[in-house]
Amino acid sequence: MNVSLDDVRAFLVISQIESFSKAADRLAVSQSALSRRIRKIEDHLGAPLFERSTRHVALTAVGRDFVPLAQRMVGEFERALGQIGDVIQKRRGVVTIASLMTVAYGLLPLVARRFSTAHPDVRVRLLDATGTEIVDHVRAGDAEFGIDMEGAPDAEIAFEALAVERYVLACRPDHPLAGDGALSWDMVRGHRCIVLGPESGIGRQLREAVPSIDWHFEIQHLSTLLGFLAAGLGVAAVPALALTSMTSADLCWRPLTGPEVKRRIGIIRRRGAVLSPAAESLRDAVVAEFAAFRKAQGRSR
């Protein structure tokens, strides 16, 4: 018969108490059942573990040598159970990610809906931030992964591409520039433009790609910019993801050309880092929603 962990635990209890009857009481088993457990180990080892008399129980030399090995076996098993418990706790605990504000605003509500349906007991902490802050959060371990624009190669950070996102001109449906088809940057001149400030990655990228861009309102946060657009205060060049939210349903958009400005979006994580099971599931939900976004972008071209 195979020796079980319960048999080893029974041996350790007897070695501590030095009594079969008292050990049986502590373990809530009969003395005969306890004797069978010890006999299994002795048969397996081919040597007795205890010297027994009507009044005394003592370890044999083999029994004394077996004590530290048995303690190690039980300890390693209990540590393994603790590690499994940590994994289970992460499945039911909190997952923290960092994300560009445009992605957080436009796509992550859809991701959260998909993820929460599959994992209703997992809480998600979102650090919506600028590009440099996202990398810092991931590098420091504050976030298990981030969603960011592709940056310069980094020995500590791995980039997993998800989509190439184009910039579009957004405005109200009653604006003179509303319509179908692509629109050149030259046609935007003379209209009030709303831009994000240079502290924003979007603001910096647009200023580098279109140095001649003029603006009437400079805004620091995407939600504020979209509010200005909805109020009819002008037009704005924004990443297409910013307009996927239901709160942007009252806006229309047209692709911008001459030049066509794009950005590459992906998942960043520390090289060699292993995501918790919950974070891996959240990553899968992000990948699925980006796939749907790419498909929708292809249809709109």
Residue 204 sits in the same domain as residue 219? yes
Q: Between 3 and 287, whose confidence is greater?
A: 287
Same domain, 295 and 159: yes
Domain hosting 148: range is 94-300
Q: Answer yes or no: do 102 and 221 share one domain.
A: yes
| 208 shares a domain with 271 | yes
The enclosing domain of 285 has a CATH number of: 3.40.190.290
Same domain, 82 and 210: no
Distance CA 81, CA 161 (A): 37
Residue 40 CB-half CA count within 13 A: 16
Give the model confidence (pLDDT) of 287-301 as tens digits.
999 998 888 766 555
Position with higher pLDDT, 271 vs 132: 271
**Shared domain check, 166 and 60:** no
> Does residue 259 have a cis bond before it (omega within 30 degrees)?
yes
Which of 57, 90, 123 is where one domain is finished?
90
| CATH number for the domain harbouring residue 57 | 1.10.10.10
Instruction: Judge if 84 and 121 occupy the same domain.
Output: no
On whether both 136 and 204 belong to a single domain, the answer is yes
Do residues 100 and 237 share a domain? yes
Mean pLDDT of 128-134: 82
End-of-domain residue from the set 44, 75, 90: 90
Q: Residue type for 168, please?
A: V
Query: In this predicted model, what pLDDT tens digit does every residue of 272-283 receive, in sequence order?
Result: 888 888 899 999
When divided into structural domains, the chain yields a total of: 2
3-state secondary structure 70-98: HHHHHHHHHHHHHHHHHHHHHHHCEEEEE
Is 61 in the same domain as 23? yes
- pLDDT given at position 246: 45
> Is residue 16 over pLDDT 80?
yes
What global pTM score does this model have? 0.64
